């Protein structure tokens, strides 16, 4: 089967850097998404990686290693507004609902002053 | 402004009642989705539609029904057959289906069964 794993919760300090990891187990690969979700709100798109390496978008960067089944989201210069859950998702590669996204449970990031 | 709207934001239902959640998008997207989010779990796919007048069951379709009569609209009915309907429901859309296009989400409806 396919599975996505993320840490449940992380704490970091305002102004610091934090890395949120995501590991996936799939028989194939069609890319990996990261979304941000503030409490009680809709998820919003952050990044989509399909090739190995690091992609940078301002304070946020996303890294992918297909050989290791591993991705991370790197947040720099943390701000209080970055307190949110970060969701990792990947398209399925087999079975019913093929190509539909399978989602990790999300990592709740708590930023402390 | 283009986007996805869901209504209502909060909904309360008595046991045994059916209730319909609205989802509308003006992004001209072909594909639409309904997810359920429970604490400590990833988003779970209820139903999805790749095109008007067509939809498929997701992982947890039992107790739910949908229709896709218009491109812009994808309402979800939570029936009395759904044993544990209290949850946060999210509607999303993407340009095409298949998981490779970015999905954009509505603000969600929080359903509570009393």
Q: Per-residue b/e over A36-53, b at no fewer than 16 CB within 10 Å?
A: bbeeeebbeebbbbeeee
Which structure tokens are listed for A63? 């890294």
CB-CB neighbors (< 8 A) of A92 in chain B: 99
Is B106 touching A (CB cutoff 8 A)?
yes
Residues linked to residue B112 through DSSP beta bridges, in sequence order = B12
Q: What is the mean pLDDT of chain B?
A: 93
And the tokens for B32? 């639409």
C-alpha angle B97-B102-B107 in degrees, rounded to nearest 5? 100
* β partners of residue B44: B36
Residue A110 has pLDDT above 70, yes or no: yes
**CB-side neighbour CA atoms (13 Å) of A100:** 23
**pLDDT tens per residue, range A63-95:** 999 889 999 999 999 999 999 999 999 988 776
Q: CA of A99: how far to CAs of A26, A106, B27, in Å?
A: 12, 20, 21
- Per residue in A2-30, pLDDT (tens digit) is 789 999 999 999 999 999 999 998 767 77
CA-to-CA dists, residue B27 to A48, A61, A102, B31, B103, angstroms: 20, 27, 23, 10, 11
Q: Which residues of A touch B44 (CB under 8 A)?
A: 103
Give the C-alpha separation, B17 to B110, whole Å: 16
Instruction: Determine the pLDDT at residue A79.
Output: 98
Q: Residue B54: what pLDDT?
A: 94
- The answer to whether residue A101 neighbours chain B at the CB level (below 8 Å) is yes
């Amino acid at each position: 089967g396919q599975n996505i794993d993320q840490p449940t919760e992380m704490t970091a300090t305002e102004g610091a850097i934090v890395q949120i990891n995501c590991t996936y187990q799939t028989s194939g690969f069609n890319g990996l998404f990261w979304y941000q979700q503030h409490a009680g709100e809709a998820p919003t798109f952050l990044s989509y990686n399909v090739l190995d390496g690091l992609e940078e978008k301002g304070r946020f960067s996303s890294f992918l290693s297909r050989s290791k089944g591993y991705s991370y989201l790197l947040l720099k210069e943390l701000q209080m507004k970055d307190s949110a859950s970060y969701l990792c998702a990947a398209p399925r590669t087999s079975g019913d609902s093929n190509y539909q996204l399978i989602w990790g449970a999300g990592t709740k990031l708590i930023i402390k002053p | 402004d283009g986007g996805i709207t869901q209504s209502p934001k909060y909904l309360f239902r008595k046991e045994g009642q059916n209730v319909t959640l609205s989802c509308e998008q003006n992004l001209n997207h072909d594909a639409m989705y309904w997810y359920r989010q429970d604490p400590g779990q990833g988003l779970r796919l209820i139903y999805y539609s790749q095109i008007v007048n067509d939809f498929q069951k997701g992982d947890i379709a039992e107790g739910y029904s949908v229709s896709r009569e218009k491109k812009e609209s994808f309402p979800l009915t939570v029936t009395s057959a759904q044993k544990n309907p209290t949850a946060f429901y999210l509607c999303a859309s993407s340009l095409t289906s298949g998981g490779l296009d970015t999905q954009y989400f509505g603000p969600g409806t929080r359903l509570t069964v009393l």
